[in-house]
């Protein structure tokens, strides 16, 4: 039996969507039930259809995720649209375990060692959203215990990013505020014989850890508390000694093999100066801080999973309250890494313009590109807190953004690589354009004398003798054309709307200005930086654009949405 083409098309789209929802692997049972859900009438034939569906499914499952996504765009362009925009206060986050209304406390703990990016936005939005959901509290805590990497500039950038996201923390603090308290807890662990000063060199430590063998310092520690006083009193210098947790050197979880709790860092702390040199690691500071801050639910990204055992044990030994620890996946985009580790070299090697380069997924970069904080929030919440590591496409963020800016953006004309057309026998004309085709956004007037510019791309198709319509203006017939000089001459024919002639966009010479659009493209191709990642479009825009202030979102017809940067340029946001 021949299976209906329509059913096959439907099956392909359902399989692709299912695969993209579940880490690239669609499941036959859920695909079949979805097919039946949309076409109940084929129930009697389903047995005949299954083998074919299975064949398509196996093929699709064998493709890399980016190919699945490309296929879905081809087969069903609207298939990548977010399922449903989250209504105000209606979050898609699942309930928190052991959460009580009014008592939930969450925190976002960035290290001020770089500029905030969309991954941080994910963590911050989810934390804040949970606090809101349970009428609880949200803390912004700078986890600043490595003065080597931290700078005031980064604290400020994070504060700015958080406030741009419209997140207002109930409390803002620094882990470094509690440094002496953290020292006290360190001393307590030593006194309980659950931590010790280790003076082995780094190679020995590394070597013994990998072999699972305790070092002499650990063995001696019970009799030798002297070193503890020394390390707290500043006797040792950087790399001469550390404090280690007395864990289990045989543990299969290598994190438990006597991890570092404190190390000596010589550089001056941006908030505390140079007096303090003994700084806790994240492994020690995070559980203590979460516990004393009253955090009930500590959300962190999945890579910390193996550290949870240590987190809980430290608090148990110190008889401190243990928060619930919840993991979620790190956000990464296809072709656009977010981590500081990958972005910093691009900034340092000047491959991009700085941290606010519109190609970057930093909050400053996204803002400059014209992505709204509301779109980021909706996007992040639409991802939920799954552990699955699928890399969403940036197009999903863009489609949330489009929904927000579409109704606020005036539509204007820009011609890329202008081609000049002089119209003989044309009467000067004033055309009135609506600023938005369907919404009430006012009008603008455009004066046309006898010269217009069209884009070179449109001009490529022109031939002498051809009649075209200049959109909303009139019809002209090409009488002479020089494609090298990018010039042509035409004659006015009439104003009648004709079905079968090309309709071409234009700007009037009289009412236009030289204009530049920066268009960010994929930052990476595979693992390599894309040296063509910033395209520059140069042409003419309607001079009306200069009446709009910087940061205004507009839509250049046929090109896409842009954010106005200044009087002469804009940044391309997305289609
Ligand atoms: P980076 O790799 O960019 O330096 P990080 O994890 O070192 O990231 P921190 O400042 O230490 O950055 O992280 C602050 C919080 O933000 C942590 O809770 C971390 O789990 C979360 N976070 C960082 N990057 C991401 C991401 N890509 N997706 C989700 N959460 C993230
Ligand atoms: Mg970090």
Question: Tokens 């070193």, residue?
Answer: 227
Same domain membership, residue 146 and residue 220 = yes
The stretch 276-290 carries a mean pLDDT of 97
Same domain membership, residue 193 and residue 137 = yes
Domain boundary residue among 376, 407, 438? 407
Active-site choice (39, 188, 330, 477): 330
Phi and psi at 467, nearest 5°, equal -100, 135
Domain that holds residue 97: 83-407
261: closest CA among 231, 236, 290?
A: 231
Same domain membership, residue 278 and residue 194 = yes
Alpha carbons 472 and 497: distance in angstroms, whole number: 9
Same domain membership, residue 381 and residue 442 = no
How many structural domains comprise the chain? Answer: 3
Same domain membership, residue 245 and residue 143 = yes
Same domain membership, residue 132 and residue 17 = no
- The pLDDT tens digits for 339-385 are 888 899 999 999 999 999 999 999 999 999 999 999 999 999 998 88
Query: Which residues sit with Cβ closer than 5 angstroms to ligand 2, an ion?
Result: 111
**CA distances, 21 to each of 16, 297, 389, 398 (Å):** 9, 27, 11, 18
Same domain membership, residue 238 and residue 160 = yes
CATH number (domain holding residue 437): 2.40.240.10
The stretch 491-496 carries a mean pLDDT of 96
Say if residue 223's pLDDT is above 90: no
The stretch 239-247 carries a mean pLDDT of 97
Q: How is 15-31 classified by DSSP, letter by letter?
A: HHHHHHHTTT---HHHH
368 flagged as catalytic: no
Same domain membership, residue 295 and residue 222 = yes
pLDDT > 70: what percent of the chain? 97
- In this structure, what token pair is assigned to residue 445? 């007037």
310: closest CA among 264, 265, 263, 251?
A: 251
| Residue closest by Cα to atom 25 of ligand 1 | 119
Cα separation of the two ends of the chain = 43
Lowest mean pLDDT segment, chosen from 13-22, 219-228, 346-355: 219-228
Instruction: Give the pLDDT confidence score for residue 66 in this predicted structure.
Output: 79
CATH number (domain holding residue 364): 3.40.50.620
**Distance of CA 281 from the midpoint of ligand 2 (Å):** 12
244 flagged as catalytic: no
Same domain membership, residue 465 and residue 365 = no
Rg, Å, the chain Cα set? 31
143-164 residues labelled b (16+ CB within 10 A) or e (exposed): bbbbbeebeeebbebbbebbeb
Task: Return mean pLDDT, the chain.
Answer: 93
Domain boundary residue among 354, 381, 407? 407
486 flagged as catalytic: no
Active-site choice (34, 141, 340, 367): 340
- The pLDDT tens digits for 525-538 are 988 899 999 999 99
Instruction: Give the pLDDT confidence score for residue 54 in this predicted structure.
Output: 93
- The pLDDT tens digits for 107-129 are 999 999 999 999 999 999 999 99
Say if residue 314's pLDDT is above 80: yes
Same domain membership, residue 303 and residue 164 = yes
The stretch 501-510 carries a mean pLDDT of 96
- The pLDDT tens digits for 123-151 are 999 999 999 999 999 999 999 999 999 99
425: closest CA among 480, 492, 496?
A: 492
Domain boundary residue among 407, 427, 448? 407
Would the CB of 301 count as within 6 Å of ligand 1? yes
| Residue closest by Cα to atom 4 of ligand 1 | 340
Would the CB of 342 count as within 6 Å of ligand 1? no
Same domain membership, residue 71 and residue 171 = no
Same domain membership, residue 512 and residue 401 = no
Confidence of residue 89 (pLDDT cuts 50, 70, 90): very low
The stretch 284-311 carries a mean pLDDT of 96
């Amino acid at each position: 039996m021949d299976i209906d083409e329509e059913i096959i098309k439907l099956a392909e789209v359902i399989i692709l969507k299912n695969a993209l929802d579940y880490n690239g692997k669609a499941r036959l049972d859920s695909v079949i039930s979805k097919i039946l859900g949309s076409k109940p009438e084929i129930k009697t034939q389903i047995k005949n259809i299954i083998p074919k569906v299975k064949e398509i499914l196996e093929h699709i499952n064998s493709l890399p995720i980016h190919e699945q996504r490309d296929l879905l765009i081809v087969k069903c362009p609207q298939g990548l649209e977010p399922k449903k925009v989250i209504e105000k206060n209606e979050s898609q986050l699942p309930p928190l375990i052991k959460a009580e209304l009014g008592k939930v406390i969450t925190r976002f703990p960035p290290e001020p060692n770089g500029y905030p990016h969309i991954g941080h936005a994910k963590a911050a939005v989810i934390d804040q959203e949970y606090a809101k959901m349970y009428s609880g509290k949200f803390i912004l805590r700078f986890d600043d215990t490595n003065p080597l990497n931290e700078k005031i500039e980064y604290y400020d950038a994070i504060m700015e990013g958080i406030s741009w996201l419209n997140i207002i923390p109930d409390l803002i603090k620094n882990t470094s505020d509690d440094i002496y308290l953290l020292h006290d807890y360190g001393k307590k662990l030593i006194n309980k014989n659950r931590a010790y000063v280790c003076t082995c060199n780094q190679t020995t430590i590394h070597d013994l850890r990998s072999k699972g063998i305790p070092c002499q310092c650990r063995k001696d520690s019970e009799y030798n508390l002297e070193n503890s006083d020394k390390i707290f009193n500043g006797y040792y210098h950087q790399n001469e000694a550390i404090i280690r947790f007395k864990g289990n050197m045989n543990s299969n979880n290598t994190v438990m093999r006597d991890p570092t709790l404190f190390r000596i860092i010589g550089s001056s702390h941006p908030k505390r100066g140079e007096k303090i040199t003994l700084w806790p690691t994240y492994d020690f500071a995070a559980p203590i801080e979460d516990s004393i801050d009253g955090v009930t639910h500590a959300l962190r990204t999945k890579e910390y999973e193996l550290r949870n055992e240590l987190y809980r044990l430290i608090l148990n030994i110190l008889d401190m309250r243990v928060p619930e620890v919840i993991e979620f996946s790190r956000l990464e985009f296809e072709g656009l890494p977010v981590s500081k580790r990958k972005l910093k070299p691009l900034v340092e090697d000047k491959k991009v313009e700085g941290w606010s380069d519109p190609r970057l997924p930093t909050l400053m970069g996204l803002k400059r590109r014209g992505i709204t904080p509301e779109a980021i929030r909706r996007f992040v919440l639409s991802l939920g807190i799954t552990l699955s590591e699928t890399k969403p496409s940036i197009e999903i963020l863009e489609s949330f953004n489009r929904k927000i800016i579409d109704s606020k953006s005036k539509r204007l004309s820009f011609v890329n690589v202008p081609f000049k057309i002089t119209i003989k026998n044309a009467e000067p004309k004033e055309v009135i354009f609506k600023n938005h085709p369907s919404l009430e956004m006012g009008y603008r007037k455009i004066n046309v004398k006898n010269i217009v510019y069209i884009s070179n791309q449109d001009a490529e198709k022109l031939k002498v003798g051809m009649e075209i319509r200049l959109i909303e203006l009139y019809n002209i017939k090409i009488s002479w054309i020089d494609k090298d000089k990018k010039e042509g001459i035409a004659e006015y024919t009439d104003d009648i709307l004709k079905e079968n002639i090309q309709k071409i966009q234009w700007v009037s010479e009289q009412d236009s200005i030289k204009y530049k659009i920066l268009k960010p493209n994929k930052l990476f191709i595979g693992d390599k930086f894309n040296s063509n990642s910033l395209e520059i479009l140069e042409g003419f825009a309607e001079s009306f654009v200069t009446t709009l202030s910087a940061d205004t979102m507009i839509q250049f017809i046929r090109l896409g949405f842009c954010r106005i940067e200044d009087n002469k340029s804009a940044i391309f946001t997305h289609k």
